[in-house]
Amino acid sequence: MNQGSIGIRRWLKSFMLKRVHGMITCKEFEDFVLRYCDNELTDRQRSLFERHISICRECREYLVAYQRTMEVSRAVFLSSDDPVPDDVPEDLIKAILKAREE
C-alpha cells in the first residue's frame, strides 16, 4: 500500500465519521486521549470516545501506543535507576527526555 491510498483512506474515514451524528473525528479523538487517561472526560465524552475506539482500529492502536508511551515515560521520569525495557525504541526515549527538558 502506498502513501497516497493511506491518505485517501484517512480522508474517507474522517469524512464518514463526521457524517455520523455525535461521532468524534480522529483529530478530536487525539485531543481526548490525554484527558481519557487522566479520567477527566465527562460521561458523554467518554461514551463518544469509546464508540470511536470500537469502530476505528487506528485510534485503538494509537491509544494502546499512547498508554505504553506513558508507562515508559513515567519510568524514565520518576526513576532513572529502573532499567528502561529493551523493546522501547531509542527514538521514543530520546523524545521523552527531550520533552522533560522543555
Q: Give the Cα separation of 45 and 5 in Å (integer).
A: 31
C-beta closer to Zn ion: residue 41 or 56: 56
**Nearest distance from C-beta of residue 95 to Zn ion, angstroms:** 22
Select 59 or 72, whichever has its Cβ closest to Zn ion: 59
Other Cβ atoms less than 10 A from the Cβ of 24: the count is 20
23 or 93: CB nearest Zn ion: 23
Q: How far is the C-alpha of 66 from the C-alpha of 60, rounded, in Å?
A: 10
Min. distance of Cβ 30 from Zn ion in angstroms?
8
The amino acid at 20: V
Residues engaged in binding Zn ion (CB under 5 A): 26, 29, 56, 59
Q: How far is the CB of 53 from Zn ion (least distance, A)?
A: 8
CB 84 within 8 A of CB 75: yes
